[in-house]
Amino acid sequence: MSDKKLLTPLELKIMNVLWKLKEAFVKEIIEELPADVEKNPKPPHKPAYNTVSTTIRILEEKNYVDHKAFGRTHQYFPTVSRFAYQKRLMHNVLDNAFSGSVSGLVSALLDDKKISDKDIKEIEDMLRKEEE
């Protein structure tokens, strides 16, 4: 997956739907997409069919999605797992935003109150398992 580009916000929203549903037609994806209240609060706005369809074709070109054809309609499914993408994204953030410094990343999360005591305990448990 290292050759794949990171996803745009809309691509990531669509991938989150596909990871959840496992496979879906464009209409099903649109139904599951969260409304973008910030852009158009009344009524909540969802992307147009053509926008989602075009974005899915781009995801296919990037090898994140494939499809099964049913006549003229297509059912899409992810070809990359959520975990594989998360790992790629974190490597990118770590390398580019924190110059490879894991302690810098953790420090930023601690400073921003994004890590709870429960999270710290879970991380400590993971580190202990790695040492074994």
Whole-number Å distance between alpha carbons of 89 and 103: 17
- pLDDT (tens digit, 9 = 90+) per residue, 27-50? 999 999 987 655 555 666 788 999
- Indicate whether 4 belongs to any domain: no
Mean pLDDT score, 10-27: 96
* Judgement on whether residues 73 and 86 belong to the same structural domain of the protein: no
Look at residue 104 and tell me if it is in a domain.
yes
CA-based angle 102:108:111, to the nearest 5? 140
Note down the domain range covering 46. 9-78
**pTM value?**
0.79
As a whole number of angstroms, the distance between CA 32 and CA 41 comes to 18
Q: Considering its fold, how many domains does the chain have in total?
A: 2
51 with 72, same domain: the answer is yes
39 is a domain residue: yes
3-class secondary-structure state, position 65: strand
